[in-house]
Structures are given as structure tokens and as C-alpha cells.
A = this chain, B = another copy of it.
Amino acid sequence: MKFAIQRDYLVRSVQDVMKAVTSRTTIPILTGIKIITTEKGVTLTGSDSDISIESLIPVEEDGKSVVDIHQQGGVVLQAKFFSEIVKKLPSETIEIEVVNSFQTVIRSGKAEFKLNGLDPEEYPHLPQIEEENVFKIPTDLLKTMIRQTFFAVSTSETRPILTGVNWRVEDGKLICTATDSHRLAMRTAAIESESTAHYNVVIPGKSLSELSKILDDSSEAVDIVITENQILFKTKHLLFFSRLLEGNYPDTTRLIPTDTKTELQLTTKDFLQSIDRASLLAREGRNNVVKLSTLESGIVEVSSNSPEIGNVIEQVQSGNIEGEDLKISFSAKYMMDALKALEGSEIHIQFTGAMRPFVIRPMHDDSILQLILPVRTY
């Protein structure tokens, strides 16, 4: 293998596939990046067996030559060193050549590295996915949907299925749901698909978070293919594979209350800041719990108390309070996470009593909801 390549393209591509590489693997070759030349260009692959990322650096882009292949071939190089080296090379062009028994020479300017490489044939094969039933989502919408749900997955392995985000595809819609059993985030969006296939799968939270990091903010579509145990995200030069979690995701629809006893309208930013202040003292307590009470004249009182340190009390003006008076306690962290995930400057919160889950939604937007279970303190 021998080729010359524009440094910027290689650096970007290496950064992308590095997202899948971990040093904590039981398969030594997976600490490496697989580099293969094809007619189309140079393909880099990184994998931790849960996530695999393949990035293609095309021979040419926008009429500009990017890769110049002198001899076909491949090698696996230690990801940790290779990624650091390419970042720091002095010249805009890098020449990479496998000399013998996979020893690889990397030349740029007057610097020359020799790295011991491995046989790419020994690198595990990526899952083979039949590209039927592709559906499409714009990249930026996909990133938003991940951001709005991912944070609510469970970080505990007691119920492994809850460490993933449930994706249901049905009737031209994608419904993403995450819950750690104390709060729940749900986001719905229309998808573009030629098939009527239904899916109900659970994607590891970590996979979605890594995917989100390597996608740009364009409105170009991402192709998504779901199989029995894998999901593939496909952009112009990138393939992102993730395994799916095994098991059935709990039916969360019955958790969402349908009736309302008290409803508040609030300005997202003001309410978020007051919860943030109240949580400054609450953090010391075991649960980071703040209290909310409705007062007269559309005033909501947010408070918390930490006997050893002190207390805080704050009044927030509500746009509208309807229904019964309410005193309720909840995790400040969950509330802040939920408010940050919502879009829109105004929200409404629907309560059905101090001990029942409550639902936060942006005004005039039913595509997203955040649900939080209160804490018993009153």
C-alpha cells in the first residue's frame, strides 16, 4: 500500500473513526485503525465491537485531488499513535507506505515515522447489512432528537434495556423514548421512507451520543437501516454501525397521564434559572430536591432547604395557573435536564397531584414531552 493524502482530510477522518476506538478492549487489534485503499479512495475503520465506524476519504472532492494512490493495500496501525502523529505532521501532504511485514512509513515534510502495523485481514469484519427498508432523517433533526432524549437513559446496569433509547418506527413517524424510571423523555418526528415496515428497537445511549458527535449540523439526510441486531447510519462518507440492545423495552405510553389537575405556563429561561439557584443548596442533600408551590395571583414559589447550610426561596411569575393549588417536590437536576432539552421559550406543565408524574411540553408543540416523577417530601 502506498498513497499520498491531504492532511486535513486524514485528520478529520481519523478523528471520526477514533470515536469508536477504545483502549479497553479484549481484542488487541481493535486498538488499531484499519486503513484500506480502494478505487474510491482510502477507507478508515475503527471499532469497539459495539460501535463500528467506517470513513471514506474520496480520491477527489469538489474537483480537488485529495488522495493519490500509488499502490493498493491495507494495514492496521495503533490508533493512539497514528491519530496523534497525523495531527502534528508538518506538511499539508502526507505519504503513507507499507514497506514490509506491515511496517508503515509516514512521511510529511522532513519528518519520517515508522510504525509497526498489523495485517488488515485479521481485523474483524463489519456487519453485512442489506440495504432494504432505508428511511431518512435530516442530520440536524437527528442530532436534535438524540440530544432531547439521550440524557434520560439509565446509567445503572440493573435494567440494561433502560441504558438505551427506544426507537419505534411506525406510520411514517419515528418515536424516540428514553427513561431511567424516574423521568422520561420522548420525541416524535416524521421520517421519509418508501417502506411501511415497523420497527421497535433499543439503541445503546452511548452509541447515539458518539454518533451525534461525528455528525455535522447540515440538513442533508442520514440514511438509516435497521436489522435484527444492528442499526446503520449512513452519510455521504461515513458508515456508523451500532449493535442493538436485546430485550423488550417497557411500554411507556401508560406512564403518561391523560388528565390534568393543575396546569402552569412558564417562561423556560426564568423557570430554569430559578430551579438552578434553588438547587445550589439542594445539591448537598441526598436527592437534590426542590419544592414548587402555587401561590395567589399567578405566582409560583420555588424553594429548597438544607438545614446545615441555609435555605432559598424565590417567586416566579407564571403566565397562567389553572386548576387546584399544588405543593410538589422533585429533583432539580431532572427538571433542569428536561427544560434544557425542550425547544421554545414558553412551556406548560401538567400535574395530576403531588404524587403523580407530571408532564412538561413546549407551548403549541406536541412533538416532544418530558415527564418527571415527583419526590415524596410533603
Contact = CB atoms under 8 A, between A and B. Distances in A.
Interface of A: 78, 81, 84-85, 88-90, 103, 110-116, 273-274, 276-277, 280-281, 308-316
Contacts of A311: 113-114
Contact of A280 (B88, B280, B312, B316): B88
Contacts of A308: 116
Nearest to A116: B310
Contacts of A112: 312-314
A89 B315 contact: no
Nearest to A81: B309
A111 B275 CA distance: 11
**Which 6 pairs between the two chains have the least Cβ-Cβ distance?**
A115-B310, A111-B314, A110-B315, A114-B310, A113-B312, A84-B280
B277 A309 contact: no
A316 B277 CA distance: 56
Contacts of A103: 310
A273 to B, nearest CB: 6
Given A81-B309, A309-B78, A309-B81, A277 B111 contact: yes
A89 B110 CA distance: 56
Contacts of A110: 314-316
B310 A89 contact: no
Nearest to A104: B310
Among A85, A110, A316, find the residue whose CB has the most chain B CB atoms closer than 10 A. A110
Nearest to A302: B111
Given A90-B273, A276-B88, A280-B88, A111 B312 contact: yes
A124 B351 CA distance: 51
A338 to B, nearest CB: 19
A10 to B, nearest CB: 15
Given A111-B313, A115-B310, 17 more contacts: A78-B309, A81-B309, A81-B310, A84-B280, A85-B277, A85-B280, A88-B276, A88-B280, A90-B273, A103-B310, A110-B314, A111-B274, A111-B312, A112-B314, A113-B311, A113-B312, A116-B308
